[in-house]
Structure 1
Amino acid sequence: MTSSAIRSGGISGAQFAVLEETGHLAYVERPEEFAAAVTGFVAGPAVSTGHAL
C-alpha cells in the first residue's frame, strides 16, 4: 500500500484512485480516465464537514 493510499484513509470522504502507467500529468496522459475519476468524486455523496458554507 502506498503512502498516498494510507493518507487518504485518514481523510473523511477521501477517495484513492490509481491511473496505471501515468506520471505526474495524469490529466494530460490519460484525460478520459482522469476526468471520469474526478467527475465520479465530485458527483458522489456530499460529506458533512460540520462547517457552514
Structure 2
Amino acid sequence: MLGWSIAFFILAIIAGLLGFTGIAGAMAGVAQVLFVIFLVLLVISFIIRAFKGRSVV
C-alpha cells in the first residue's frame, strides 16, 4: 500500500509539472488517503504484535 501511495505521489508531481492541476490534485488526494490507511494498518499491526508476542517453538 505504501508503494501505491508513492506511485500516486510521483504521478501527481509529474501531472503538476505538465500543467494538469486538476489531475495532480486528485492524485495527491489519493496518495494522502492511501498513506494514512498504511499508517493506521501499521500501528494496528504493531499493537497486535505487542499483545500477541512471539511464540518460541
Q: Normalization by structure 2: what TM-score?
A: 0.39
Task: With a CA cutoff of 8 Å and minimum separation of 6, indicate the structure with the bigger relative contact order.
Answer: 2
Q: Name the larger-Rg structure.
A: 2
Q: Greater share of helix residues, 1 or 2?
A: 2
